[in-house]
Amino acid sequence: MSSEVAARRDAKKLVRSPSGLRMVPEHRADGSPFGLEEPPWVPDKECPRCMQCDTKFDFLTRKHHCRRCGKCFCDKCCGQKVALRRMCFVDPVRQCAGCAPVSRREADFYDRQLKLLLSGATFLVTFGNSEKPDTMVCRLSSNQRFLLLDGDADDHREVEVARIAAVQMLTEGLPPGDTRSHASLPASRPAAEGGNARATGMTLQYTAPGAEGLTQLTLTAGEDADGSRRQATAWLAAMHKAAKLLYESRDQ
């Protein structure tokens, strides 16, 4: 990747929306695949009462819109200001009682797990049906749009996160035949997050430009050497969370 292309991907601009200031990519196509679009606000004329407690709005009881869901509430039901980084807001924004806890949980991904993904980890990487894995460092690009894999010499590959179609965790400590896929992500807890099963790898299926069907790659944590296995396990747990956000963004 040339420095000019990388700079274009990372370029951002400050914009003002009805909900507040946002720091967004210069080009919409370079936005994070984990991001959420601002929701349309419920028109004032369609919400004479709070959509949570049913309090009637009047001169003293003002209406407020939740920046995450766009619904209309009184100040009591929508008085919390919480960071909403998935929508690129610069400052904490007003959110309802239902949305605020969700945004707080997501903040853990941005404050902790995203840093792990950006720093990367070393894996044994198998492409397709290849029998010989390559030792490569896998990390998330700074604009969160690509998984970057770097091996020896000039061996560099990229996987666009938005093209990932399926994610399956490879674990040990589970009953024979039991696997964790993205369909069960909300219920599964990798070892790095406190579960009994320990993540040992991950299989990704994605659409490669110009290729027919899905391409597969498998990341496997190698033997512990200078803490590399522990770093790889933590990276897998962070990617496990990222996959959940990816599917949520697509279902928006």
For 182-228, how does the pLDDT look when each residue is reduced to its tens digit (9 = 90+)?
Answer: 333 333 334 344 445 677 899 999 998 888 889 999 999 987 656 68
Low-confidence ranges of the chain (pLDDT < 50): 1, 175-195
List the one residue out of 221, 214, 227, 223 whose CA is nearest residue 239.
221
In sequence order, the 6+-apart residues with CB closer than 8 A to the CB of 252 are 36, 37
Amino acid at 54: D
Task: Give residue 183's pLDDT.
Answer: 34
Residue 111 sits at the vertex; the CA angle it makes with 117 and 8, to the nearest 5 degrees, is 60
pTM of the full structure: 0.77
Task: Give residue 22's pLDDT.
Answer: 92
DSSP secondary structure letter of residue 89: B
Amino acid at 16: R
Task: Give residue 82's pLDDT.
Answer: 96
Task: Give residue 91's pLDDT.
Answer: 95
β-strands 180-181, 164-172: how paired?
antiparallel
Give per-residue burial for 206-222: e unless 16+ CB within 10 Å, then b: bbeeeeeeebbbbbbbb
List the one residue out of 79, 73, 42 whose CA is nearest residue 56.
73
Could you tell me the end-to-end alpha-carbon distance of the chain, in angstroms, rounded to an integer? Answer: 31
pLDDT tens figures, 58-84: 989 999 999 999 999 999 999 999 999
Asked if residues 183 and 244 have their Cβ atoms less than 8 Å apart, the reply is no
CA distance 62 to 55: 10
List the one residue out of 232, 249, 252, 109 whose CA is nearest residue 169.
232
User: E strands within 96-155?
Assistant: 121-127, 134-140, 146-150
Task: Give residue 9's pLDDT.
Answer: 59
